[in-house]
Amino acid sequence: MAKENLENPRVRVRPGFCWDGCAAYLFDVDGTLLRSRDRVHFNAFAAGVERATGRTIQLEGVPLAGNSDTAILAEAWRQAGLDEAELVRQSAAIHQAMAEWVAEHREQLEPVLMPGVEATLEHLTRHKALLGVATGNLEKIGWIKLQRAGLRKWFGFGGFSDRYRVRAEMVAAAAETARAMLGKPDAEVCVVGDTPRDIQAARASGLPVVAVATGHYSFDELAALEPDVCTTTLADLLAAGEAR
Question: Where do the H-state alpha helices sit in the chain?
Answer: 3-7, 40-53, 69-79, 84-104, 117-126, 139-148, 167-182, 196-204, 219-223, 234-242
Residue 140's contacts (CB-CB under 8 Å, 6 or more residues apart) are 95, 99, 102, 103
Are 162 and 139 in contact by the 8 Å Cβ rule? The answer is yes
Look at residues 108, 131, 153 and tell me which one is the last residue of a structural domain: 108
32: nearest Cα among 149, 126, 141:
149
Look at residues 108, 139, 165 and tell me which one is the last residue of a structural domain: 108
pLDDT of amino acid 144? 98
Look at residues 79, 108, 137 and tell me which one is the last residue of a structural domain: 108
Q: List C-alpha distances in Å: 95 to 44, 129, 139, 205.
A: 9, 31, 9, 27
pLDDT of amino acid 65? 82
CATH of the domain at 235: 3.40.50.1000
Per the DSSP assignment, residues forming a β-bridge with 27 are: 133, 192
Largest CA distance in the chain: 58
Q: Are 157 and 172 members of one domain?
A: yes
Specify the number of domains making up the chain: 2
Total residues belonging to the chain: 244
The segments of the chain whose pLDDT lies below 50 read 3-4
pTM of the predicted protein model: 0.94
Q: Are 93 and 214 members of one domain?
A: no
Q: Are 47 and 30 members of one domain?
A: no
Q: Are 79 and 126 members of one domain?
A: no
pLDDT of amino acid 3? 46
- Taking the alpha carbons of 25, 154, 137, 182 in that order, is the dihedral positive or negative? negative
